[in-house]
Chain A
Amino acid sequence: MKPGHEEKRATLNRFQNIDWARLYKVLLVHAAATLRSYRGADTFDGGQDCEDVVQEVLKDFYRSPNGLGWKQSKGRLETYLGTVVHNKLVDRLRRQKHVSGSLDDPDFSPPADNSPGTTAPERAKTNTKDALYSLVKAEAELQDLITAAELVKGGPNVNQELGEILNKTPRQVSKLKERLLEVDGVKELYAARQKAKSTRPSA
């Protein structure tokens, strides 16, 4: 066997084991979470921004002969590229800030959502909780799910943990989440994007 052949085969196998479609989904969900942590709900078209940034990062990864310098010793590929997505997204937000004002400016959010004196991440947290409760309205099971989420400590299996609080099986918790996402406006909140018909006043 030629010298280095084993190494080459190992390199190829490491990439052959990657589920590329899953990687794309993970990066997109990760991007949405990053966006939410910097911006409150209904501030701009987050869904589009996330897709743009994730595709840009993957394009750079494929164009780069050494895959942006990723090696197995640097951790999982999705974590490595997730960091790149995070940085690019924050960079994009900073550029938008120069156009539309500071991310910490209390006047940045729509007037109805303002909490003067708070920073954007604090507003995002408060807005998310309030928005979720107002969206589910009188659906007691979904309200319980949101309340349970506040009590979650962050174990390895969130459905199991929520199930223990709600006295439900992980499968039932998963179904409840599916129901929650079906509620009008929740998907938009999760993806940090505006609803199709925005109620924001035009400038």
Chain B
Amino acid sequence: MPRDKKPNQPDPARDLLDKLFGTTDEMTDEDLNMLYEAIAPATDAAAIVHRLAADAAVEYRLQNRPLPDHLQAALDATWEVKGLDNVEPSKLRQIVDALTAPYTGEVKDPAYAYRNREGELDRHDQRIIDELTDELREDWRGDDGEGKK
């Protein structure tokens, strides 16, 4: 008799822990770091990536082949900078960009919630707009009250 369900297939319903922490697509950097620490405590992700990339780079060099772009980019990005004296201008630019780039993660102030936002406003966005409108209205009321005094 044929089985209703293929063996070893994951349940399409989301696991409770996924519901609780969200999937990686919707996770904030803070939550991601917290979970990474839970899975691989006291490990440095950048150092691991650099080691893997450096190992692969050795193989390319032994075969006298140029490093592919993705490997070069990974090596450059995960290179541990110990001083700024001999750093290439492109790396310095990267550091400055990282420091000055707008924060794209979850924001605490709803006024910043639309930065880098793509697509239509959803119900959640509308709620934030309504909250801001109410807040503004209250501010105006407060100003009016002070003016009358």
Contact = CB atoms under 8 A, between A and B. Distances in A.
Interface of A: 11-12, 15-16, 18-26, 28-30, 32-34, 36-38, 47, 50-51, 55, 58-59, 61-67, 70, 78-79, 82, 90, 93-94, 97, 102-104, 119-122, 124-125, 128-129, 132, 145-146, 149-150, 152, 154-160, 162, 169-171, 174, 177-178, 180-181, 186-187, 189-191, 193
A103 B9 CA distance: 10
Contact of B74 (A62, A93, A190): A62
A18 B77 contact: yes
A190 B49 contact: no
Contacts, number: 191
Contacts of A67: 68, 70
Contacts of B10: 34, 37-38, 121
B8 A94 contact: yes
B26 A157 contact: yes
Interface stretch (B30-38, B81-89, B129-137, B138-146): B30-38
B18 interface: yes
A171 B108 contact: yes
Given A20-B46, A171-B108, A28 B17 contact: no
Interface residues of B, number: 60
B103 to A, nearest CB: 14
A129 B14 CA distance: 12
B8 A38 contact: yes
Given A20-B78, A24-B49, A38-B8, A50 B39 contact: yes
B95 interface: no
B85 to A, nearest CB: 23
Interface of B: 5, 7-11, 13-36, 38-41, 45-46, 48-49, 52-53, 55-57, 59, 65, 68-74, 76-78, 94, 106, 108, 122, 124
B110 to A, nearest CB: 10
Dominant SS among interface residues on chain A: helix
Given A103-B8, A104-B8, A120-B8, A62 B124 contact: no
A190 B126 CA distance: 34
A37 B14 CA distance: 8
Contacts of B35: 29, 32, 181, 190
A128 B17 contact: yes
B24 A15 contact: no
Given A33-B15, A190-B17, A191-B38, A66 B24 contact: no
